[in-house]
Amino acid sequence: MPPRNPRILKALHAMKALGISEAKVKPVLKKLYKLYDKNWDLIEQENYRALADAIFEEEDAKVPEEPHADDDLEEEAEVHNETQQPLKRLRKRGQEMQICSSPSNPEIGGTPLKIPKLEKNNLPGADSMQMSPNIRKSESFPSSASAQDHTKIPDKQHLALIPSAVQGSTNSAQLGAADRTMPSNPLSPQRQQANKGKEPLIPQAVCKEKRPISIRSSHGVHIKDTAAESGTPLPCAKEKDMLFLITPKDEPITDDMPLSGVARYDVPCAVVQSASSSKGDSVVQDAMIREPRACNLVTRDVSRDDVPSSSSEGRDVRRDDVPASSSEGRDARRDGILASSSDRVVNCDLAAMSGDSPTSLEIATSPLGEVKISLTCDSLLRRPNFHMPSQDELLKTVQEKCLRSYKIVDPNFSVMRILKDMCECFLELATDSSHESQERLFNVTPALDLLKKSTAHSSLHAPGFKEHNGLADVNRYPGGSKFPVLMPLQTLCPMKATPSSKEVTVNGIGEIDEGKDLIDHQMNSLVIVPQCQLTPEDFRSLYTFSDITKGEEKIQIPWLNEINNECPLPFYYIPQNLIFQNACVRFSLSQIRTEECCSTCSGDCLISPSPCVCAGETGQYAYTPEGLVKEDFLEECISMTRNPQQQSLFYCEDCPLERWKNEEMMELCKGHLKRKYIKECWFKCGCHKQCGNRVVQRGTNCKLQVFFTPEGKGWGVRTLEKLPKGTFVCEYVGEILTSKELYERKMQMVKNTATELHTYPVILDSYWWLKGVMKDEEALCLDSKFHGNVARFINHRCLDANLIEIPVKIETPDHHYYHIAFFTTREVDAWEELTWDYGIDFDDNDQPVEIFQCQCSSKFCRNMRRSNRPKSASK
Ligand SMILES: C[S@@+](CC[C@H](N)C(=O)[O-])C[C@H]1O[C@@H](n2cnc3c(N)ncnc32)[C@H](O)[C@@H]1O
């Protein structure tokens, strides 16, 4: 079992000395840690007095029940499991509040007391809106609760956590009230022993005028599981326990907000909506849940009165569909899809969206004004310099952005047209019978297919179409047709290429042989291009879309799908890491002191027999003159990664990865691997750019291809040429995020129930051990989900992957930031897929990444071993 946080171990030992089992201590310790705002000193004071008190309070609050034979077995199994996976057990305990003891296990069998499971349902308030423990601590204990009336206790779990000494403190009115609600059980002998000669301990969190977590939490409520109550399945189990910030309309959150105001947050408007959700509701409701206070795009139905007086025939026809009076009309339509989205908005947080509000801008309407699109900016989030842009200003800016971002070549492209189309489609869908709209939808698809096949496909497929080095030979492009060509932007180039064919040419770009089949890809990015307007220049720019790098790298990296019609999902290709927001990375030259670089070198450092200052940091020149990582260095890196020794693992006292996961939990650090790294020369060094100690910074040079894997792993990367052992293949490039930002990003995706394939963030944690405690802004990781390079397509292989990631320091002496570079672990053949070991623990669902069913087919596959394991062992 890995070593754990020494302070936790000490606490466990101290409680063990009192005869309290680890199993009882852990969940309480976790909560106490949270309650005391992660202040270990408070927990440790007076030989863990507060902890002991809290444990006894928890015990006292429970009613013993007769042991059941099966329970004993279950507990034994759990205890067994605990020794194997302490972290998982810790979490489970926290969720179930199950405190068990087993006389058969001396580790935890200090007390014969049998404590029953605390069922959530048995707890008064457990199924009502749940506030964070901090709110409970200070705000939610009803002062009117009678001493005996336990049903008034909002949540025993949290109440029991507050040590009696704290509850009895006289300087806190709220806690005093809490004390009155506690059952007055006599002290257990153990507790008496622990309390002997000790003064009540008042936690700092209560004494101080500080408003630690509770400031945040006081505006947070757990969303009530109304969907579950109403029989609507929640999109994700995690989501229902998620904290949402709910803000009262038009009222800023302030720290000095009266406590009585808290009750107003109890029922988040999003939940009220969800309880009565209809198909039509879900759109608006969803928007509210995801971005409760952000700028929302709201499609509003307009009542009869809003329709312009210059009625047309079309409008009158629709009029016949609704009853005469406008209010009746609204009511009638309430049952339909259009019903009352504006009414719903009025009832909730977004009520400020009225058309009269200066924060609302109408953007587009259907021809008769029945449907409108408007943008509303939440007045609460407005910045001081906020002004409402004009419609023209906005559309012009969006239009420019679209043209820049999506490289749309249709000269008639108009954002306004799209928005108007959206209004019209909305209206059509909303007013058509479902049968008709279905039919229309089905009619559209073949039309698209027809176009695709008869124009773009056949044109490109025609004999004579050839392409070389990324440039299509437009002279041989068949002309003649006056029909517009529907160009799949991402699919102009792909062609069938198999390892056996001889189509791979310069720069890794395939060359189309005459008569080769084009793959009929699903078109994810379609532009109607009048064929007569296709110039060689257009064709060239369209062609570059087959290069996954979009021209950002020195080389082109084509993509190919021989398996199905899928195209790679869109993302921003970036050749270098970019700071997302809060990450602290300082590239400034002044940061690098002269003694930290080889300023006195010249030419190629590798020529010198002794390592330059930079290489000295690595310990040696890590590269050969051919630019490969030296065998001995590489082997050491491989061995450290594949068989990490205990001494190469580091466990944080306060792990940044765990810090943000769940404030209710106090998870232990799962360990970080201390890695060897390469220090390359850089701008402040005297050597030249071609110096042999600069490899990664020169970028990728291998002929790679992104291809769709046949084994069900989605896209992957393969090499189109043989690569010697130790070759630098590419860097893992992505956004530089703090671990907190990564956690928040993950939660946001869970909230949005994102279904796309997941990319794998890399934690830059190899040198956290140098710092001891990492600040939030220094605990960094790289995420390539939205912005990344070719490495985001590299798949995982357990243990014997042909790539290894090696930290490379280039431009900053900060140990908390470095580059991740992939090198080959062995000679790799042309057409072999490139893989690296993500280091996933397939047993741990609580990682910042999604677990998948591994298809790596390695004989060391950890996922296979897991699924082959007997049930009892994998429990
Ligand atoms: C970094 S991405 C790799 C590129 C990805 N295959 C794609 O299509 O974009 C990681 C994701 O690829 C898939 N993947 C990677 N390695 C895999 C493996 N060995 N078995 C199954 N799926 C894998 C998983 O869905 C994982 O979440």
Q: Please state, as a whole number, how many other Cβ atoms lie within 10 Å of the Cβ of residue 604.
A: 16
Amino acid letter, 674: K
| CB of 160 sitting under 6 A from ligand 1 | no
Query: Vertex 681, ends 680 and 687: CA angle to 5°?
Result: 145
How many angstroms separate the alpha carbon of residue 796 from the centre of ligand 1? 7
Cβ–ligand 1 contact at 26 (below 6 Å)? no
Q: Taking 50 as the threshold, does the pLDDT of residue 69 lie above it?
A: no
48 φψ region: left (φ > 0), alpha (ψ -120 to 50), beta (else)? left
C-beta atoms surrounding 479 within 10 Å: 10
Q: What is the mean pLDDT of residues 48-69?
A: 72
Q: For residue 854, which atom of ligand 1 is closest to its CA?
A: 20
What's the mean pLDDT when you consider all of the chain? 62
pLDDT per residue over 334-374, tens digit each? Answer: 333 333 333 333 333 333 334 445 677 888 887 778 788 88
Tokens of 657: 């990865």
Ligand 1 atom nearest the C-alpha of 792 is 1
Nearest of 131, 381, 134 to residue 268 by alpha carbon:
131
CB burial of 670-695 (b: ≥16 within 10 Å; e: otherwise) equals bbbebbbbbbbbbebbebeeebbbbb
Q: What is the pTM of this model?
A: 0.48
Give the number of the atom of ligand 1 that is nearest the alpha carbon of residue 714.
8
Q: For residue 28, what pLDDT is reported?
A: 85
Reported as a pLDDT band with limits 50, 70 and 90, residue 599 is: very high
d(CA 74, CA 87) in angstroms, rounded, equals 18
Report the amino acid identity of residue 326: S
**CB of residue 706 inside a 6 A radius of ligand 1:** no
| Pairing mode, strands 803-809 and 678-679 | parallel
pLDDT band at 664 (very low <50, low <70, confident <90, very high): low
According to the model, what pLDDT value does residue 408 have?
57
Higher pLDDT, 525 or 71: 71
Give CA–CA dist 704/557, Å, rounded: 6
**For 803-835, how does the pLDDT look when each residue is reduced to its tens digit (9 = 90+)?**
999 999 999 888 899 999 999 999 999 999 999
Q: Which of 128 and 65 is assigned the larger pLDDT?
A: 65
Nearest-CA residue for atom 2 of ligand 1: 759
10 vs 709, residue with greater confidence:
709
At residue 376, the pLDDT reads 78
Confidence of residue 531 (pLDDT cuts 50, 70, 90): very low
Residue 430 CA to ligand 1 centre (angstroms):
39
Nearest CA-CA partner of 361 in 297, 308, 317: 297
Atom of ligand 1 nearest to the CA of 855: 20
Helix, strand or coil, per DSSP, at residue 803: strand
> Is the C-beta atom of 851 inside 6 A of ligand 1?
no
Q: Higher-confidence residue: 444 or 788?
A: 788
Residue closest by Cα to atom 4 of ligand 1: 793
| 8 Å CB contact between 48 and 179 | no
Task: Specify the ligand 1 atom closest to the Cα of 708.
Answer: 8
Neighbours of 188 (CB within 10 A): 15
Count other Cβ atoms within 10 Å, centred on residue 774: 23
Q: Look at residue 324 and tell me whether its pLDDT is greater than 70.
A: no
pLDDT digits (tens, 9 = 90+) for 74-86: 443 343 333 333 2
CB 369 within 8 A of CB 302: yes
- pLDDT bin (cut points 50, 70, 90) of residue 847 is low
Check pocket membership of 861 for ligand 1, CB cut-off 6 A: no
What pLDDT, on a 0 to 100 scale, did the predictor assign at position 512? 32
Sign, CA dihedral 655-658-663-665, equals negative
* Closest to 553 in 3D by CA, of 593, 507, 484: 507
Q: How far is the CA of 783 from the centre of ligand 1 (A)?
A: 14
| Pairing of the two strands 780-788 and 803-809 | unpaired
pLDDT at 747: 80
Bridge partners, residue 201, by sequence:
none
153 CB-near residues (< 8 Å, 6+ apart): 124, 125, 141, 145, 159, 181, 182
Among 829, 495, 569, 566, residue whose Cα is nearest residue 708: 566
In short, whether 16's Cβ falls inside 6 Å of ligand 1 is: no
Mutate to test the pocket of ligand 1, among 852, 863, 865 (most ligand atoms within 8 A of CB): 852
- Residue bearing the CA closest to ligand 1, atom 22: 713
Retrieve residue 216's tokens.
Answer: 């945040």
819-824 vs 728-732, strand pairing mode: antiparallel
Q: For residue 732, how far is its CA from the centre of ligand 1 (angstroms)? A: 15
Over residues 398-428, the pLDDT tens digits come to: 877 766 666 555 556 677 878 888 887 788 7
pLDDT at residue 516 in the model:
35
* Averaged pLDDT, 623-649: 93
pLDDT mean over 780-797: 95
Amino acid at 214: S
The confidence score (pLDDT) of residue 403 equals 65
Does the Cβ of 715 fall within 6 Å of ligand 1?
A: yes
Please say whether the beta carbons of 737 and 580 come within 8 A.
yes
Residue among 707, 725, 726, 727 nearest 717 (CA): 707
Choosing from 713, 787, 866 the residue with most ligand 1 atoms within 8 A of its CB, the one to mutate for a pocket test is 713
How remote is the CA of residue 354 from the centroid of ligand 1, in Å? Answer: 45
Q: Are 773 and 700 in contact (CB under 8 A)?
A: no
User: CA quadruple 171, 175, 177, 181: dihedral positive or negative?
Assistant: negative
Instruction: Assess whether the C-beta atom of 659 lies below 6 angstroms from ligand 1.
Output: no
CA distances from 435 to 1, 371, 430 (A): 62, 22, 12
Q: Does the beta carbon of 757 lie inside 6 Å of ligand 1? A: yes
Ligand 1 contact via 545 beta carbon (within 6 Å): no
For 555, the token pair is 């080389």
Q: Whose CA is nearest to atom 7 of ligand 1?
A: 715
Please name the residue whose Cα sits nearest to atom 15 of ligand 1: 795
What pLDDT is recorded for position 603? 96
> What's the CA-to-centroid distance between 493 and ligand 1, angstroms?
24
Judge whether residue 678 has pLDDT over 80: yes
User: What spacing in Å lies between the alpha carbon of 823 and ligand 1's midpoint?
Assistant: 19
> Which residues are CB-contacts of 458 (< 8 A; sequence separation ≥ 6)?
none
Q: What is the pLDDT of residues 211-264, one digit of tens each?
A: 322 222 223 223 233 333 333 333 333 333 332 222 223 333 333 333 333 333
Q: Percentage of residues in the chain with pLDDT exceeding 70?
A: 47
What is the average pLDDT across 848-863?
86
pLDDT band at 865 (very low <50, low <70, confident <90, very high): low
What's the mean pLDDT in 24-38? 82
- Lowest-confidence pick of 510-514, 648-652, 757-761: 510-514
pLDDT in tens, 720-759: 999 999 999 999 999 999 988 988 888 887 777 655 556 7
pLDDT at residue 690 above 50? yes
Range from 429-443, 455-469, 842-856 carrying the lowest mean pLDDT: 455-469
DSSP strands (E only) in 629-779: 649-650, 672-673, 678-679, 704-708, 715-719, 728-732, 734-738, 762-763
Atom of ligand 1 nearest to the CA of 838: 16
Q: How far is the CA of 52 from the centre of ligand 1 (A)?
A: 47
Measured from the CB, is residue 34 less than 6 Å from ligand 1? no
Check if 854 has its Cβ closer than 6 Å to any atom of ligand 1.
Answer: yes
Percent of the chain whose pLDDT exceeds 90 = 24
Mean pLDDT of 637-655: 88
590: tokens are: 């002044």
Query: Token digits for 625?
Result: 């003159």
Average pLDDT over residues 31-55: 84
pLDDT tier at 578, thresholds 50, 70, 90: very high
- The helix/strand/coil state of 837 is coil
Atom 27 in ligand 1: which residue has the minimum CA distance? Answer: 758
pLDDT of residue 156: 32
Find the 709 Cα to ligand 1 centroid distance in Å. Answer: 10
Choice between 263 and 560, residue whose per-residue pLDDT is larger:
560
- Residue 470, pLDDT score: 31
pLDDT band for position 866 (cuts 50, 70, 90) = low
State the pLDDT at residue 669: 87
ipTM higher than threshold 0.95: yes
Check: CB of residue 560 under 8 Å from CB of residue 494.
yes
Ligand 1 atom nearest the C-alpha of 758 is: 27
Using alpha carbons, select from 554, 573, 577 the residue that is nearest to residue 810: 577
Out of 85-99, 367-381, 654-668, 834-848, give the one with best mean pLDDT: 834-848
Is pLDDT of 536 > 80? Answer: no
Among 757, 793, 838, 856, which is best to mutate for testing ligand 1, by the most ligand atoms less than 8 A from CB?
757
CA dihedral 717, 720, 726, 728 (to 10 degrees): -60
- Taking the centre of ligand 1 as the mean of its atom positions, its distance from the CA of residue 838, in whole angstroms, is 10
| Ligand 1 nearest-atom number relative to CA 715 | 8
Ligand 1 centroid – CA 714 distance (Å): 6
Ligand 1 close to Cβ of residue 130 (< 6 A): no
